[in-house]
Amino acid sequence: MEKDIKRQISYQFQVYSSSQGLVPLADAKAGAIVGANIALIATLINAPFFYEKLKKIIDASAPSGTAVFLLSVFAVISIISIMSAVMVLYPRPSQHVTKLHPARLTYFEHIFSCRSAERYLSRVGELDDGEILQEMCVQNYELSTILIAKYKMLKTSLALFLANMIIWAALIFKFFQL
C-alpha cells in the first residue's frame, strides 16, 4: 500500500508539472494576441492615407456606410479581443472547495497563512502520505479549472483576432477604393 501511494504521489507530481507548464504558454499567447491587435490598430492609424480618407468619409454628404460600418466593427472587435486576452492574464486564486477537503497547504495563500517558513515546514511534516496525495489531487484539480478558464478565454480572443484581421484587410481595401 505504501509503495502504491508513493507511485500515485509521483504520478500527481508529473500531472502537476505538465499542467503547470501550460500556464505561461497561455499567458504568452494572450500577450501575443494583445500585441498583434495593437499592431493592427497602429498600422491602420499610422497609414499615411487613413486620416485623409476618414476626413473624406466624414465630409461626404452621403458617407460610405460600408467604411464606417467596417471601422466600427473593427474597433469593437479589437477592444473585445484585447480584453479577453487580458482576462487570460488575470490571476485566479483558488476559491474552489473540492469534495476531498479544502486545500490546506497547497496554494500560496495557504502557505502564507502559516506566517513563517518554520510553521509551514512543521505543517507539511505533519502530513502523512495519504494526506500529501490528497493535497496534490486538490492542487491538480484546481490547476485544471484555472487552465480551462484561461484556454477558453484564449480561444475566444484568438477567434476574434482572426476575424478582426479579415475586417482589417477589408477596411484597408475599402479605404483604397475611396
Portion of the chain with pLDDT greater than 90, in percent: 37
- Domain ranges within the chain, ordered by starting residue: 2-177
Residue 53: HSE in the Cβ half-sphere, 13 Å Cα cutoff: 19
Q: Take residue 69 and report the three cell numbers written for it.
A: 460600418
Model confidence, pTM:
0.77
Q: Which residue has the higher pLDDT, 3 or 17?
A: 17
Report whether 173 contacts 66 (CB < 8 A).
Answer: no
pLDDT interval class at 68 (50, 70, 90): confident
Of the candidates 75, 53, 40, 52, which has an alpha carbon nearest to the alpha carbon of residue 174? 53
Confidence category of residue 155, pLDDT binned at 50, 70, 90: very high
- Output 99 or 34, whichever has higher pLDDT: 34
Place of cell 477537503: 101
**Averaged over 118-131, what is the pLDDT?**
87
pLDDT for position 1: 61
Q: Per-residue confidence at 69, pLDDT binned at 50, 70, 90?
A: confident
Residues in the chain: 178
Q: Identify the pLDDT of residue 84.
A: 95
* pLDDT attached to residue 64: 61
